Copies of this chain bind each other. A is one copy, B any other.
Amino acid sequence: MAIRVTVWNEFQHEKENERVRSVYPDGIHEAIKHGIAQLGDFDVRTATLDEPEHGLTPDVLATTDTLIWWGHKAHDRVSDAVVERVCSEVLSGMGLIALHSAHFSRVFRRLMGTNCSLKWREAGERERLWNIYPSHPVMEGIDEHFELQQAEMYGEPFDIPKPDDLLLISWFKGGEVFRSGCAWNRGNGRVLYFRPGHETYPIYYDPNVLRIIANGCRWSRRRLTRPTDACPNPGPLESFL
């Protein structure tokens, strides 16, 4: 059965900046949508900030197995209601993949409970991503390492809770390292943070990056829907005599 993926993009840079538009003419969401289409049995939709309810109505979320999130400059324009709705859906069972600058999205920070801060530098430097966990499903088909020739540096310390699984560590030409692939379980949902991405470097056309995103969709896909907000008050299962 096809995995139902929704790619969410704040979709601002592409409208405002010619250089970004030249790399992602239809927006980052369309690049990702097309990029993963051939890599699995995915039924992919997109949603963006400027749509009503940012395109993330209760019905869209209820029929999404994995939500991919890209945001950068407009994190604070995502409404309280949608943040609440997305987080609640993850806790009920939907998967979430937070890409690159989505480390600072309201959704990701809320699910982590920490600030999710990091170092950064835009110098178009080489990044080499080391595969720390070759047998993990998200790393399927990925070699011991792969490279991105031009990347924005993200550096440690990265203020996240201890990952349940650490998948990738990046080496940067300028001297830093970063935990670039991290996985957590939250409620009934699975969350993947995946660092690569940028609005002007053509990173969402890279075959390794796309493969990891596709693997991440499979790994984090909804397996059940089970809300976790109620506190039942059952009677005893054993006699008190």
Residues of B within 8 A of A58 (CB): none
**B171 lies within 8 A of A175 (CB):** yes
Cα distance A28–B119 in the bound complex, in angstroms: 37
Q: In the complex, A105 Cα to B232 Cα: how many Å?
A: 17
User: What is the distance, in angstroms, from A140's C-beta to the closest C-beta of chain B?
Assistant: 7
> What residue in chain B is nearest A224 (Cβ atoms)?
B135
Q: Quick check: is A207 within 8 A (CB to CB) of the other chain?
A: no
Q: Any chain B CB within 8 A of the CB of A3?
A: no
Knowing A156-B130, A157-B144 touch, does A236 contact B123 (C-beta < 8 A)?
A: yes
B-contacting residues, A80-129, CB 8 Å: 87, 91, 93, 104, 110-115, 117-121, 123, 125, 128
B-chain residues with CB within 8 Å of residue A128 when the two chains form the complex: 175, 237
Q: Which of A197-235 contact B (CB under 8 A)?
A: 223-224, 226, 228-235
A116 to chain B, nearest CB (A): 9
Identify whether the interface residues of A are mostly helix, strand, loop, or mixed: loop
- Is A159 positioned at the interface, with any CB of B under 8 Å from its CB? yes
Which of A36-44, A49-57, A62-70, A179-187 forms contacts with chain B? A179-187
Contact present for A119 and B169 (CB under 8 Å):
no
Say whether A134 faces chain B, with CB atoms less than 8 Å apart. Answer: yes
Contacts of A231 in B (CB 8 A): 104, 117-120
Q: Are B115 and A187 in contact (CB under 8 A)?
A: yes
Interface string of A141-171 (1 = CB under 8 A from B): 0001100000000011111011011100111
Residue A241 is within 8 A (CB to CB) of chain B in the complex: yes
A160 to chain B, nearest CB (A): 9
Q: Write out the residue numbers on chain B whose beta carbons fall within 8 Å of the beta carbon of A185.
A: 133, 135, 161-162
- A188 within 8 A of partner (CB): yes
B232 in contact with A119 (CB, 8 Å): yes
Chain B residue at minimal CB-CB distance from A226: B134
Q: Given A131-B157, A161-B161, A161-B186, decide whether A113 and B110 contact each other with a Cβ distance below 8 A.
A: yes
Whether a CB of chain B sits under 8 angstroms from the CB of A176 is yes
Question: Could you list 13 examples of A-B contacts with CB < 8 Å?
Answer: A87-B113, A110-B110, A113-B113, A120-B231, A128-B237, A132-B157, A133-B185, A134-B157, A135-B187, A135-B189, A140-B223, A169-B177, A173-B236
